[in-house]
Chain A
């Protein structure tokens, strides 16, 4: 069977070679990079612009952004027909292609996030390593940690006041350079689509900007959800542990801190949400108004075939409802989390409607193609480009995040960052 045949249904006239070649993994790719970029922008709000209220969530989202980073590459590898040759993009990049810049942009961004993390956590590394070093008897896990921290410190043991101040300055510079790079990383994912002149739905110069805005929206939303879930878990663990250790913070103390951080973050979510909706609607109106040759087929895709996915799921549930709910007075934690989940779904649907919607019509403008998501993986191909492959991509960042937080704790740090 030809690649793409398993999940493509053709209607009316499509060229014989046309199938839906870019599937769920290409939906996951901008979704995951968007989360990376968004989480990073959120952490930079504190580090660069000094939004003090976001201090707690800033470190959290920085570590989370780092955990998401390798996952941005995963869907691409799962999508490639020759995944073993994927490294060629780094080795022999062909720079007229938008994809060729991926290696460079991605590596730059990864280095910035990694070094920012290092500066944020250096004091912690040194303190922990010193404490562990002074211990007479170490457990196996402590021994491993001691080794890891000593490696990570890379000889920079100085934690005098001046050295720490230098660290803070470095964090600020890195966070500031990181914002444009994060935006570039994601804007460029938008450029990959926006520059395809053969695709009437994709080709718009607004695409990179739309991608950036929705990226920030989704990144913030995911940080809110993950942060709240982590806090709830902490509360549960603390109330259980407090029976033996009464000095731990009480549930109420934790809760008030949490509500403050989350409602503050939701304000930024709202801001970027407005920007994203405005741009998307502008694009839609412009297409209808100029009504180029492709508009006939685009209209039947947007207003007929994909109506439910675009107007009900994406704009309705993903944008309008959370927008109203976030503006209503007496914002509660539950409502913010609910809205964030809706927003995440909305951004996912936006990616879906761009990637799959862009292939929902034939480039002959005389036929349609429908994508049937493969669910049960009977072959490797159906696993990679099906529901389970996508779920695997979605779960990985949380696994990585859990692993990372064993080494880089995100709560109860007394350093100043």
Chain B
């Protein structure tokens, strides 16, 4: 029969004996070792949108839908363009018919079930277009809330979805403040813009960047100081969307104003 003193002694011995190999696990964390040896990711993909250059042609949306096989007529899209018309009385009107897949062909602005509004040219104080896409946040809320780890962030900063693992709960869609996520109409799993990861990792540009005739969209590597995109971000006055959510978005905008939602 073991007495109390012996029990305490042996318990301490076992606890101590177990603590050593367990702490070794911490000592040799392969991820940290790699990180200390050299920067594991020489790349951080970022996006730069120059709203001054965007004319709302919608080529980017069209190109994206075809490149990434999002059913052409489905009312969801990985990227879209918003039209902002601010009238002289201070009212802001916004629309994005079919995500601007066909551009903005009518001066009438869609208002959902409400009647479309048309602001007369002489009443317009300012008007502009804002392209939107996934912000590939540094602190992505969608990755945080995925219950099965089907969405994850790569070392170079892009957030991807594993179509074979997503259970389709929609929590990531709810968690994204930018509304970039949706359910893929064919695969029935969460879907989002991934900066055309299959292209950028092969040295190409994204489909939307290639399609933009005006150079309003650019993609770059924030870790390369000589990258023209990085230079603009470092030296000019850029802004991001909805900073207050603490998501650290990595799509930078030139010419963003307070009306942009």
The interface of chain A, by Cβ under 8 A from chain B, is: 1-5, 9-19, 21-22, 76, 79-82, 85-86, 88-89, 92-94, 96-100, 102, 192, 195-199, 293, 362-368
The A-contacting residues of B in range 146-187, CB under 8 angstroms, are 146-150, 165-171, 173-183, 185
Cβ-defined contact, B169 with A79, below 8 A:
yes
B102-131 interface bits toward A, Cβ cutoff 8 Å, 1 = contact, 0 = none? 000000000111100000000000000000
Closest-by-CB residue of B relative to A369 is B112
Q: Which B residue sits closest to A99, measured CB to CB?
A: B147
Query: B254 to chain A: which residues have CB within 8 Å?
Result: none
A-B contact list, 9 entries, CB within 8 Å: A13-B82, A16-B75, A16-B77, A82-B188, A86-B167, A92-B148, A93-B148, A97-B145, A196-B145
B144, CB-defined interface residue at 8 Å: yes
Residues on B facing A (Cβ under 8 Å): 74-77, 80, 82, 92-96, 98-99, 111-114, 132, 141, 143-150, 165-171, 173-183, 185, 188-189, 244-246, 261
List residues of chain B with CB within 8 A of the CB of A82: 166-168, 188-189
Q: B75 and A5: CB pair below 8 A?
A: yes
CA distance A9 to B75 in the complex (A): 13
Please give 15 more A-B residue pairs, beta carbons under 8 A apart, in addition to A18-B179, A81-B170. A2-B74, A4-B183, A13-B112, A14-B112, A16-B77, A17-B173, A21-B170, A81-B166, A82-B168, A85-B165, A85-B166, A89-B147, A97-B144, A198-B175, A364-B261
Shortest B59–chain A CB gap in Å is: 16
Are A9 and B182 within 8 A (Cβ)? no
> Contacts of A99 on B, CB cut-off 8 Å?
145, 147, 169, 171
User: Which residue on chain A has the smallest CB distance to residue B261?
Assistant: A364
Selected contact of B99 from candidates A1, A16, A81, A93, CB within 8 Å: A16
Tell whether, in the assembled complex, residue B261 and residue A13 are in contact, meaning their CB atoms are under 8 Å apart. yes
Q: Give the residue of B92, B98, B168, B244 whose beta carbon is less than 8 angstroms from that of A81.
A: B168
| Pairwise interchain contact A197-B113, C-beta atoms closer than 8 A | no
CA distance A368 to B113 in the complex (A): 10
Point out the residue from B114, B175, B176, B188 that lies within 8 Å of A11, measured CB to CB: B114
A81 touches B188 (CB 8 A): yes
Cross-chain contact B245 with A197 (CB below 8 angstroms) = yes
Cα(A14)–Cα(B178), bound, Å: 11
Residue ID in chain A nearest B185 by CB atoms: A2
Q: Is A10 touching B144 in the complex (CB atoms < 8 A)?
A: no
**Residues of the B chain whose Cβ atoms lie less than 8 Å from the Cβ of A367:** 112
With A2-B182, A12-B114 as contacts: A88 and B165 at CB distance below 8 Å: yes
7 closest Cβ contacts across the A-B interface? A81-B168, A15-B179, A99-B147, A94-B149, A10-B112, A364-B261, A198-B177
